[in-house]
A and B are shown apart, each in its own frame.
Chain A
Amino acid sequence: MAARGHVQDPNDRRLRPIYDYLDNGNNKMAIQQADKLLKKHKELHCAKVLKAIGLQRTGKQDEAFTLAQEVTVLEPTDDNSLQALTILYREMHRPELVTKLYEAAVRKVPTSEEYHSHLFMAYARVGEYKKMQQAGMALFKIVPKNPYYFWSVMSLVMQAISAQDEKLSQTMFLPLAERMVEKMVKEEKIEAEAEVQLYFMILERLGKFVEALEVVQGPLGEKLTSELQSRENKSMKLYRRLERWPECNALSCKLLLKNPDDWQFYLLYFDSLFQVIDQNWTPPLEGAPSAEGEVHASVAQSISFINERLATEEAKESKHLRGPYLARLELIRRLRERSCPEAMQLGEPLEHMFQFFVKFGDKPCCITDLKIFLDLLTPDQHVQFINRLMEVVPLGMAGEEGEAFPADTRALQRHLCVTQLSRSLGLQHALNTGGKLSLIKELKAHYHHGLQFGTSCLKTELQFSDMYCLMAAHVYLDLWKETGNQSMLWQCMGLLEEGLTHSSSNAQFKLLLLLLYCRLGAFEPVVDLYASLDAKHTSEYIIQAYKYGAFEKIPEFIAFRNRLEHSLHFAQVRTERMLLDLFLEADISSSLEESIKSMSLCPEEDDIPWENLRDNRDLTVFVNWSPADRQLKEEHKQCSVEEETLWLRLRSLTLRLIGCVSSLTHSSTPHNSEKTTENGVTTKPLVFPSLLSQLENTLNQAVQFTETPPRAEYPFLGPVASRLVQAVSSGCCQCQLSMFQLPVHLQELQSLGLDGSAELQTQISNLFKSIAAQLHDILEKCKGDLLEVGDDQSRTQHWFLENLVYFVETVCIVLWVSQYCASVLRPLKSTLQKKKKKKKEASSVTPAVLLGFQEFSSSTQNLLKDALEHIRSQEITLSALKLEALKLELVEASFTKTAMEKVQSSYLRSLQEIGELLKKRADSFKSLKI
């Protein structure tokens, strides 16, 4: 990781062992070795930095930072120290400190190309565009290499992109960037493709499309070689922007003649054709019809163009291309949309689709090709269409059960294609329960039969017949939804589990299983399933893009990064993660205050970008053959985002309020601040009430959201409902809100004192009573069997588990707020006792608030005992369940059982974990005294 130069510096030799220890992850030895070296060579700053890296990696951030700063203030200029500090600051997530480091280095060594270039990259990491621009120019002045000049130009473009004020971009940054490039063009100094690319980007952003076109088509455009057809693609884009439809049409014609399989140019061809027609365009009297040659300006021309493409394709001996055939269907669609009678000249879509199937039915993509044209069929043609296709599917002799199977993978693919089309047309959905059950049987038979073709498949490959399995699973889900019979769900899960044993890389099986286990609240199997999906991780390539001059990618990378930073899902996961850490660990392994500090949670600060939150979910990730009327609709998406955002608001406010409670407790503890108890001053007087009222408002909105009738139910394979509905109905949100109201009253009590606050005390006591009752109600909603086993089926009642989780979360909050209450009441009580002693009053009444608290504390303890008892009995019931006793159909019985056992085991583990946590919380309650 260090600069391993060729000239051996004695220091390099001395430092080598430390580098090796760090590289091997032996941080302790690295620290020791560094200490040893520093005793002998006090001036060897790099050793200090390496020691700091060791410290950082062993969790001693503060020490590491201090050491690093000691070296940084010396403004080092040796490669070893600079590089080590760069690594350290990056690991500390403090990239801005690297810029300071190299600013100092270039000040001391102003002619160093290397340090200047490090400085530029350091600025690039933190997005300091203005400074990048200057650093690039400074570098160019030292070493007049083109890339440095264009780094500077690109930094101007980035200033334009990131500027809040669009006017500033258009009148200052971009024109300046343009002039900088023009200067190089005039001096004929343009060298690389990247430079032309950048010029193009600038002109495009300035809206100078004509000028951009000149660049692309002129001598500079010759440098555009990294992408095939780059000049043509760029010209096309510009013709569209300029609405030069004749050129657009002529160019797409030319490109289609070259490659009749490029779908995007068919779409452009049709778009431009109808534009040209609608504009009544006529060719000029003299010269070429357009800058790109011949233009099609009538429907007749387009029909003959497509027919020619088809004829050429038909005449070919070799593999046929799909493009021309699909283009004919597309043209029919467009002509019909415009009510053009000429559509008839192109023939009957059903016939064309049938012929397409004959030609391409054995390709897996045939279904996606035809699916988009299904709406060209009239509903009364649907059955006829499927029957016609089925007639040309080569199946073998029917067996005893009347089923015939394909003899090879091509026949299988054809059969599968018809089956998928049939589902997409809604023909499967129209079947009754009996029909669906026999369909499943048929699909499973095809699935199992097809496995023989894939016996030599690698484990990374899919089985040829996997789609039958997936479709059977979908039909099971249809049945589950329609009948409510959970055995359909179990069999669906069993089938998918079976599918995975034959095809362990099938992401669709895994995704659907993930969805189903999650729906049942069984998270134990989810971890492995998710890991096995092997999701790709992205890293940042911005620095690389500057180095290689891939300028056009830089705005893309930045946009992608913004997309991640504004992700709704990311904000949710981060919030949930912090909540979970607190619920599980705070007050157990470390104090609540320490836990909150270690996650750098600051209740005053709302770091969620509410205004710019983005829904990055891909809701089309599931293979889905639902007919048009059952597909995901825009309103579903909107509703889901609204729901998710509301839920995030609730959770994030809860988190921040917990943070407030912690700091209140901390500041009201006498040894932290003697004065607080005397004058009732607390540190965060304003944040708490504000967050509290926000929580109240959000909860009202949430209740409204859950009650607004009739909320359209999301399609099964669409977005998953958030936990909002269940959380609200469990009563936990309301109870937590009530609990958070206590501190406000107690602060008031703190300032009033026990005397003369009778009314307030009654109010507080009533609140205690109400919370106790609410807690009781939540627990009642947890009581029920998670898994019921009857004669021939088992049924989950997973909502009991979800409610139990809400109960435990609420108990945690109740505990933390109670601790704050105790910290306020304790000194009040002791003052009272002192007074009593002085006055020697033998019989005085205990103040209402103290009584209220004691009652609350003891009732909560009893409730927790009850809860623990319930959990224990559930554990016993669950462990005693004998799934083997279920009479299941023989064939898949074992897989269905596997799924059930996974759910059973997951529930058990959840109960154990919840029980353990609750036990600890109950213990804390016991020790809570005033």
Chain B
Amino acid sequence: MGYIMGKAEGSVAREEWHGHVTALSVAPEFRRLGLAAKLMEMLEEISERKGGFFVDLFVRVSNQVAVNMYKQLGYSVYRTVIEYYSASNGEPDEDAYDMRKALSRDTEKKSIIPLPHPVRPEDIE
């Protein structure tokens, strides 16, 4: 039907401890049921419990359906990562949006203030 994969990572001291969505997928026949939103909600809940400051994810800039869905769920583009995706031959393929949503621990929502410039994959942690 569908699955979500994620992890908690980042430094607590630098207020970068967060939940990361590694993968989110819903089979075609189980779409339009709100499953993706449900799965995201679960991951956010667990990230809250683990004391994360925010949840983040990477998405292809061309994947408008997904970008819009994440926006509806309260995510915003924090930065663009240039040539984050590569094709199977290793050639650069496409940019990614790094999208974030602040959790309750980040009271001032500092973690989601968009960066002014795009970054390269080697510059992200």
Interface residue A744 (Cβ < 8 Å from any Cβ of B): no
Interface segment among B10-18, B27-35, B72-80, B109-117: the answer is B27-35
A225 with B46: in contact, given A364-B28, A365-B29 (CB under 8 Å)? yes
A365 with B45: in contact, given A458-B63, A462-B28 (CB under 8 Å)? no
A364 with B34: in contact, given A458-B62, A458-B63 (CB under 8 Å)? no
Is the CB–CB distance between A365 and B30 below 8 Å? yes
Complex Cα gap A364–B30 (Å):
6
* CB-based nearest B residue for A360: B33
Complex Cα gap A503–B25 (Å):
19
Kindly list chain A residues whose C-beta atoms are within 8 Å of the C-beta of B61.
none
Interface residue A843 (Cβ < 8 Å from any Cβ of B): no
* CB-based nearest B residue for A461: B65
Complex Cα gap A458–B65 (Å):
9
Interface residue B120 (Cβ < 8 Å from any Cβ of A): no
Complex Cα gap A461–B30 (Å):
14
Interface residue B42 (Cβ < 8 Å from any Cβ of A): yes
Residues of A357-375 at the interface with B, using a CB-CB cut-off of 8 Å, are 362-365, 367-368
Complex Cα gap A462–B45 (Å):
31
Is the CB–CB distance between B45 and A228 below 8 Å? yes
A363 with B32: in contact, given A458-B62, A458-B63 (CB under 8 Å)? yes
Kindly list chain A residues whose C-beta atoms are within 8 Å of the C-beta of B33.
363, 365
Kindly list chain B residues whose C-beta atoms are within 8 Å of the C-beta of A225.
46, 49-50
Kindly list chain A residues whose C-beta atoms are within 8 Å of the C-beta of B30.
364-365
Kindly list chain A residues whose C-beta atoms are within 8 Å of the C-beta of B46.
225-228
Interface residue A711 (Cβ < 8 Å from any Cβ of B): no
Interface residue A13 (Cβ < 8 Å from any Cβ of B): no
Is the CB–CB distance between B32 and A364 below 8 Å? yes
Closest chain-A Cβ to B69's Cβ sits at a distance in Å of 13
Is the CB–CB distance between B50 and A364 below 8 Å? no
Contact of A368 among B29, B42, B63, B65 (CB under 8 A): B29
A364 with B42: in contact, given A225-B49, A319-B34, A458-B62 (CB under 8 Å)? no
* CB-based nearest B residue for A193: B50
Complex Cα gap A319–B32 (Å):
11
Is the CB–CB distance between B63 and A364 below 8 Å? no
Complex Cα gap A364–B26 (Å):
12
Complex Cα gap A527–B36 (Å):
33
Residues of A453-482 at the interface with B, using a CB-CB cut-off of 8 Å, are 458, 460-462
Residues of A210-229 at the interface with B, using a CB-CB cut-off of 8 Å, are 225-228
* CB-based nearest A residue for B35: A365
Closest chain-A Cβ to B7's Cβ sits at a distance in Å of 8
Kindly list chain A residues whose C-beta atoms are within 8 Å of the C-beta of B50.
225-226
Residues of B41-92 at the interface with A, using a CB-CB cut-off of 8 Å, are 42, 45-46, 49-50, 62-65
Kindly list chain B residues whose C-beta atoms are within 8 Å of the C-beta of A461.
65
Closest chain-A Cβ to B60's Cβ sits at a distance in Å of 9
Interface bin, chain B: 10 to 19
Kindly list chain B residues whose C-beta atoms are within 8 Å of the C-beta of A228.
42, 45-46
Complex Cα gap A378–B29 (Å):
27
One digit per residue, 1 when the CB lies within 8 angstroms of any chain B CB and 0 when it does not, for chain A 226-266 equals 11100000000000000000000000000000000000000
* CB-based nearest A residue for B50: A225
Is the CB–CB distance between B29 and A364 below 8 Å? yes
Complex Cα gap A460–B49 (Å):
35
Closest chain-B Cβ to A267's Cβ sits at a distance in Å of 16
Complex Cα gap A363–B34 (Å):
11
Complex Cα gap A362–B32 (Å):
9
Kindly list chain A residues whose C-beta atoms are within 8 Å of the C-beta of B28.
364, 462
Complex Cα gap A535–B19 (Å):
27
One digit per residue, 1 when the CB lies within 8 angstroms of any chain B CB and 0 when it does not, for chain A 307-331 equals 0000000000001000000000000
Kindly list chain B residues whose C-beta atoms are within 8 Å of the C-beta of A226.
46, 50
Closest chain-B Cβ to A424's Cβ sits at a distance in Å of 14
Kindly list chain A residues whose C-beta atoms are within 8 Å of the C-beta of B29.
364-365, 367-368
Complex Cα gap A367–B63 (Å):
28
Complex Cα gap A368–B64 (Å):
28
Closest chain-A Cβ to B85's Cβ sits at a distance in Å of 12
Kindly list chain A residues whose C-beta atoms are within 8 Å of the C-beta of B62.
458
Closest chain-B Cβ to A678's Cβ sits at a distance in Å of 60
Is the CB–CB distance between A364 and B31 below 8 Å? yes
Complex Cα gap A365–B42 (Å):
22
Closest chain-B Cβ to A596's Cβ sits at a distance in Å of 34
Complex Cα gap A461–B64 (Å):
12
Kindly list chain B residues whose C-beta atoms are within 8 Å of the C-beta of A367.
29
Kindly list chain B residues whose C-beta atoms are within 8 Å of the C-beta of A365.
29-30, 33
* CB-based nearest B residue for A534: B88
Kindly list chain A residues whose C-beta atoms are within 8 Å of the C-beta of B32.
362-364
* CB-based nearest B residue for A259: B38
Closest chain-B Cβ to A130's Cβ sits at a distance in Å of 31
Complex Cα gap A363–B31 (Å):
8
| Most chain A beta-carbon neighbours within 10 Å: one of B33, B34, B50 | B33
Closest chain-A Cβ to B23's Cβ sits at a distance in Å of 10
Kindly list chain A residues whose C-beta atoms are within 8 Å of the C-beta of B34.
319
Complex Cα gap A134–B115 (Å):
49
Kindly list chain B residues whose C-beta atoms are within 8 Å of the C-beta of A458.
62-65
* CB-based nearest B residue for A531: B88
Closest chain-B Cβ to A792's Cβ sits at a distance in Å of 37
Complex Cα gap A228–B45 (Å):
8
* CB-based nearest B residue for A508: B28
* CB-based nearest A residue for B32: A363
Closest chain-B Cβ to A626's Cβ sits at a distance in Å of 17
Complex Cα gap A271–B28 (Å):
31
Complex Cα gap A362–B42 (Å):
26
Residues of A110-162 at the interface with B, using a CB-CB cut-off of 8 Å, are none
* CB-based nearest B residue for A363: B32
| Most chain A beta-carbon neighbours within 10 Å: one of B28, B32, B46, B65 | B28
* CB-based nearest A residue for B7: A548
Closest chain-B Cβ to A546's Cβ sits at a distance in Å of 16
Residues of A483-519 at the interface with B, using a CB-CB cut-off of 8 Å, are none
* CB-based nearest B residue for A225: B49
Kindly list chain B residues whose C-beta atoms are within 8 Å of the C-beta of A368.
29
* CB-based nearest B residue for A228: B42
Kindly list chain A residues whose C-beta atoms are within 8 Å of the C-beta of B49.
225
Closest chain-A Cβ to B113's Cβ sits at a distance in Å of 29
Complex Cα gap A535–B31 (Å):
21
* CB-based nearest A residue for B62: A458
Complex Cα gap A367–B28 (Å):
13
Kindly list chain B residues whose C-beta atoms are within 8 Å of the C-beta of A362.
32
Complex Cα gap A113–B13 (Å):
25
Closest chain-B Cβ to A335's Cβ sits at a distance in Å of 28
* CB-based nearest B residue for A466: B28
Complex Cα gap A639–B83 (Å):
50
Complex Cα gap A458–B62 (Å):
9
Closest chain-A Cβ to B104's Cβ sits at a distance in Å of 15
* CB-based nearest A residue for B64: A458
Residues of A406-461 at the interface with B, using a CB-CB cut-off of 8 Å, are 458, 460-461
Closest chain-B Cβ to A268's Cβ sits at a distance in Å of 19
* CB-based nearest A residue for B30: A365
Kindly list chain B residues whose C-beta atoms are within 8 Å of the C-beta of A319.
34
Complex Cα gap A362–B62 (Å):
27
Residues of A367-396 at the interface with B, using a CB-CB cut-off of 8 Å, are 367-368
17 A-B residue contacts at CB 8 Å? A225-B49, A226-B46, A226-B50, A227-B46, A228-B42, A363-B33, A364-B29, A364-B30, A364-B31, A364-B32, A365-B30, A365-B33, A367-B29, A368-B29, A458-B63, A458-B65, A462-B28
Q: Given contact pairs A319-B34, A364-B29, A458-B65, enumerate 13 new A-B contacts (beta carbons under 8 Å).
A: A225-B46, A225-B50, A227-B46, A363-B32, A363-B33, A364-B30, A364-B31, A365-B29, A367-B29, A458-B63, A458-B64, A460-B63, A462-B28
Per CB-CB distance, the 5 closest pairs between chain A and chain B, nearest first, are: A364-B29, A225-B49, A365-B30, A228-B42, A462-B28
